[in-house]
Amino acid sequence: QVQLVESGGGLVQVGGSLRLSCTGSGDTFSNYAMAWFRQAPGKQRDLVAAITADDIIWYADSVKGRFTISRDNSKNTVYLQMNSLKPEDTAAYFCALDRSGLARTVAGAYNYWGQGTQVTVSS
């Protein structure tokens, strides 16, 4: 059984930084695409960043230049470094795994999800 566990969320001031981590168990993650989604209250779950099995990376326009996704396959872990945080970045952030290995943009394409970690940016 694949399990994903996120950590690293919290409360931060505008302009601050956070690093989210997502560690998986139950499979070999180097074969799969990993992604970070976020969901604010009353809104849909949107893709923030994704990294394919071949380390091809995609970012949402709203986070380009501020967020960095990376992975350490030896630790079955994917990271999201978030800099220059803005109030509109406030959301629950979810880690997801796509067994196709592709960085697909639709949440329904992902096979496994973490429980989420809250990021709150105060102004």
Tell me: pLDDT of 50 over 90: yes
Nearest to 105 by CA among 54, 30, 33: 33
- Tell me the average pLDDT of the chain: 95
Report how far residue 10's alpha carbon sits from residue 59's, in angstroms, rounded to the nearest whole number: 22
Confidence label for 51 from pLDDT (cuts 50, 70 and 90): very high
pLDDT digits (tens, 9 = 90+) for 55-109: 999 999 999 999 999 999 999 999 999 999 999 999 999 999 999 888 888 999 9
Question: If 0-12 CB within 10 Å is exposed, 13-18 middle and 19+ buried, where does residue 54 land?
Answer: exposed
Report how far residue 104's alpha carbon sits from residue 80's, in angstroms, rounded to the nearest whole number: 17
Tell me: pLDDT of 114 over 90: yes
Residue type at 120?
T
Report how far residue 29's alpha carbon sits from residue 101's, in angstroms, rounded to the nearest whole number: 10
Look at residue 60 in the predicted model and tell me its pLDDT.
97
Look at residue 1 in the predicted model and tell me its pLDDT.
86
Nearest to 17 by CA among 119, 111, 97, 109: 119
Look at residue 101 in the predicted model and tell me its pLDDT.
86
